[in-house]
Chains A and B, each alone.
Chain A
Amino acid sequence: MEVTLKDHATMIELSFVKKLKSSSGEMILDVDLSLEEGRLITLYGKSGAGKTTLLLVLAGLLKPERGYIKIGNEIWTDTEKRIQLAAQKRNVGFVFQEYALFPNMTIRENLLFALAKHQSEKIVDHLVDIIDLGQLQNRKPTTLSGGQKQRVALARALVKKPKILLLDEPLSALDHEMRAKLQSYIMEVHKEFDLTTILISHDVSEIIRLSDYLVEIDQGKVIRQGHPSDLFTNDRVNAKFQFTGEVIQMVKQDFIVIVTVLIGKDLVKVIANDKEAENLMVGDRVMIASKAFNPIIHKIG
């Protein structure tokens, strides 16, 4: 996919320095990013690299030492001009890693709390609908599972119709099935609400499936950015079909090795020659691509 700018695309410009204390001592988050509005962007990197801090600074919950944040013509932060727009006034939705649902309120009350003054409750009903929260509305957050809490947090973040949605590792604590479900919710609301979404993820296959732009951060610096599949594969593969998965098993048979790969919930067997198999180990993340074969189409049901 081409990374081109639309003529009228609004840019999210982040250029700031923020000192932070982490478990491994003091670190400086020093970023200079220009992100196109409307994209689904992933922040990728080791824990402690400064990803969460970047989201907190963008949301106005932390103040950088110096630098600026601009959304199109709007200035959210400019330390030189002493501008720091309050978090309350930034049109941002934030899904926290630990969900941060208010324990004293029911699910519905959590959503209603997010309404702006005079905002109609319609949006809450709509979100309950598309994120399937109908059954949960009258329950308290402590009685919910991780996946359910995450869905509520997502819905709550969208109530005030933000322009930018920030998700701090929304999927890492969930099992495989919940993950897939939430991924589709995120994609759905990203489109429906015309959002710019920035999420933190460690899962390569998830990133390739979900996002159309990737920013890799290490030790507080942006080390790579671009289209995810370009960054995660050494050569650009111009393939018709391409999947990512995890190597589960490798069985040597004569001159070939049969590699079993878990893609989503499906096991796929792929034949690799000795040379290809040399670099592979069980547990590796791999991409499987093919361009010269005849796909077979079967109608289901």
Chain B
Amino acid sequence: MIDWNPLILTFKLAMITTVLLLIISIPIAYWLAYTKARIKPVIETLVSMPLVLPPTVIGFYMLVAFSPANAFGGWLDNLLGLRLVFSFEGLVLGSLIYSLPFMVHPIQAGFANLSPSLKNASFVLGKSKFTTLRSVLLPNIKPSIITGIILAFAHTIGEFGVVLMIGGNLPGKTRVASIAIYDEVEAMNYAAANTYSVILFGITFLILLIVYLINGGYFKRSRYND
């Protein structure tokens, strides 16, 4: 039997990351979709950086920044008792940064594709920005939100570099499935590596399949046919 802990840890990390990302990404995506500020391209670039940057770069800088030996990490450690290096909290933070574009981009595109008159109509009816967001905008970009959730979740499951750099390989704490696979291969334990791999393969296949079914309007069509 394989050790299930890495898989459980992976899904726990993916779930926490996805929920936090959803909360963070809606305001960011809203701002990016509607702002006319000159600084917008800079923020957009920063959000998208994890798409192209090697994960090890992000992991490396986080490792340096959060190390208790350095100013910022030491301050976090002393003041909040928060040690982000080689800890689960550190993995969550790393994953948040790493998967941010996968949540922000679909939601931002969702907002941008909505007709501006929907927002305008709600404003003219006397509704605040918050009410408009909650009752008009978000319900009408549900497919984008679901896409964001699923992509962020799947991407967090697949991360390796950031996790390895900032979390290391502590069983039960930071040893997620992708690292366990690497570990088993190193130990020439191909059977275990294969089991982990097959499970991850199956799950990510399913997740992405769901994305394409939603984006292809498959669910909508079948609902109307009912």
- Using a CB–CB cutoff of 8 Å, the interface residues on chain A facing chain B are 56, 59-61, 86-90, 92-94, 96-98, 100, 102-104, 113-114, 116, 156-157, 159-160
Q: Does B187 contact A (CB under 8 A)?
A: no
Is A98 in contact with B124, judged by CB distance below 8 angstroms? no
A114's contact among B115, B120, B125, B140, by CB below 8 Å, is which? B125
Contact assessment for A160 and B125 in the assembled complex, using a CB-CB cutoff below 8 Å = yes
Q: B121 to A100, Cβ gap below 8 A?
A: yes
The yes or no answer to B117 lying at the interface (CB within 8 A) is yes
The interface centre, meaning the residue of A87, A92, A102, A116 with most chain B CB atoms within 10 A of its CB, is A102
The answer to whether A100 touches B140 (Cβ under 8 A) is no
Cα A92 to Cα B125 in complex, Å, equals 8
> How many A-B contacts at CB < 8 Å in the complex?
58
Q: List 9 A-B contacts (CB under 8 A).
A: A59-B124, A87-B124, A88-B126, A88-B128, A94-B120, A100-B118, A104-B136, A113-B135, A159-B125
Q: Give chain B nearest CB distance to A217 CB in angstroms.
A: 21
Q: Evaluate contact between B117 and A88: CB separation under 8 angstroms.
A: no
Distance (Å) between the CB of B113 and the closest chain A CB?
13
A residues in contact with B40, CB < 8 Å: none
Max chain A Cβ within 10 angstroms of own Cβ: one of B123, B124, B127: B124
Instruction: Report how far A97 CA is from B123 CA in the complex, Å.
Output: 16
A109 to chain B, nearest CB (A): 10
Nearest residue, chain B, Cβ from A153: B121
The answer, yes or no, to whether B139 is at the interface (CB within 8 Å) is: yes
Residues of A within 8 A of B126 (CB): 88-89, 116, 160
**Are A61 and B125 in contact, with the CB atoms below 8 A?**
no
Dominant secondary structure of chain A at its interface with chain B:
loop
Which residues 133-160 of B have a CB within 8 angstroms of A?
135-136, 139-140
**Chain B residues, CB < 8 A from A86:** 123
- Tell me whether A98 and B136 are in contact in the complex, defined as CB-CB below 8 angstroms, given that A61-B124, A87-B123, A88-B128 are known contacts: no
Nearest-CB residue, chain A, relative to B120: A61
Residue of B118, B125, B140 with highest tally of chain A CB at under 10 A: B125
The 3 closest A-B pairs by CB, nearest first: A100-B117, A104-B139, A100-B121
Closest Cβ neighbor of B128 among chain A residues: A88
Task: Give every chain A residue within 8 A of B115 (Cβ-Cβ).
Answer: 98, 100
A147 to B121 alpha-carbon distance, docked (Å): 18
- Residue interface bits B157-185, CB-to-A below 8 A is 1, else 0: 00000000000000000000000000000
Seed contacts A86-B123, A88-B128, A156-B121; 12 additional CB < 8 Å A-B pairs: A88-B123, A88-B124, A88-B126, A88-B127, A90-B124, A94-B124, A98-B117, A104-B140, A113-B127, A113-B135, A114-B125, A116-B126
* Residue interface bits B93-116, CB-to-A below 8 A is 1, else 0: 000000000000000000000010
Question: Nearest Cβ in chain B — how far from A229, in angstroms?
Answer: 32
How many Å lie between the Cα of A88 and that of B136 in the bound state? 15
Asked whether A156 lies within 8 Å of B125 as measured between CB atoms, the reply is yes
Taking each of B120, B126, B136, B139, which has the highest tally of chain A beta carbons within 10 Å of its own beta carbon? Answer: B126
